[in-house]
Chains A and B, each alone.
With several copies, the nearest count.
Chain A
Amino acid sequence: MTVRILDAGFDPWALLSDYQRAGAPPEGAYGATAVFVGTMRDFNEDQNVQSLFLEHYPGMTEAWLEKISVAATERWNLLDSLIVHRVGELHPGEPIVLVAVWSAHRKAAFEASRFLMEELKSKAPLWKKEQREDGARWVEHNTPG
């Protein structure tokens, strides 16, 4: 069970490859891996977004992500989970968030990955400020999934 806050760009596939190669989770035990990657789009609500600034609450953000990881692990009997979230300045096409879970069967993996994303978006202390052509503004709320 791993949670990481990164202030520089990351390649979700390279990160997953390294994570699995390092032996977590144990090979042969899991049959299902579900991954979600959230990427910065170049539009939001029909307006061009040029860049994004992501603020977090150091300590609490990690604690919240660990809390939901524990909840998902217990509820779906996960073999492992990984949450990675970017902070700082981002540009379109860059990954913002990665959620991955490993389980014996696919039902648990599908449900747990979706649960983690919804819990992350609704309560993890992270805030986005969008830089558009007409200026910068804090995003007011997340849309339901």
Chain B
Amino acid sequence: MRIEVRFFAGLRERLGVAEREVSVPDDTSIRQLWSLVVPEEPLPDNVLAARNMEYVDLSSIPCDGDEIAFFPPVTGGAG
């Protein structure tokens, strides 16, 4: 299946990639997806993931055509 993978903020900068379309075996979990896309880097402990712009568990399995985003803890707002 084909997955659109996106990275944000510090993760995007460190990995040097904002988005990449990849082809992975069916039944690839989001955790496994990371290892396939960024084999040189272990999955950070505090990483967050979203599937089609909704928070998702790392153990869940995306569908063909999904957009999967990885990002660090959020730091929006103020005060």
Interface residues, chain A, with chain B CB atoms under 8 Å away? 31-32, 36, 38-41, 54-57, 59-61, 63, 85, 95-97, 103, 105-106, 109, 117, 120-129, 138-142, 145
Contacts and interface: CB of A to CB of B under 8 A. Distances in A.
B71 interface: yes
Given A55-B9, A127-B71, A63 B53 contact: yes
Given A55-B8, A60-B69, A125 B78 contact: no
A102 to B, nearest CB: 10
Contacts of B71: 57, 125, 127
Which size bracket describes the interface of B in this complex? 10 to 19
B59 interface: no
Contact of B76 (A31, A32, A95, A97): A97
Contacts of A60: 50, 53-54, 69
Interface of B: 6, 8-10, 13, 50, 53-55, 69, 71-79
A38 B68 CA distance: 30
Contacts of A32: 78-79
A138 B76 contact: no
B78 A124 contact: no
B71 to A, nearest CB: 6
B48 to A, nearest CB: 8
Contacts of B50: 57, 60, 125
Given A61-B76, A121-B77, 13 more contacts: A38-B78, A55-B8, A56-B76, A63-B53, A96-B77, A97-B76, A97-B77, A103-B79, A124-B76, A127-B8, A127-B75, A140-B75, A145-B79
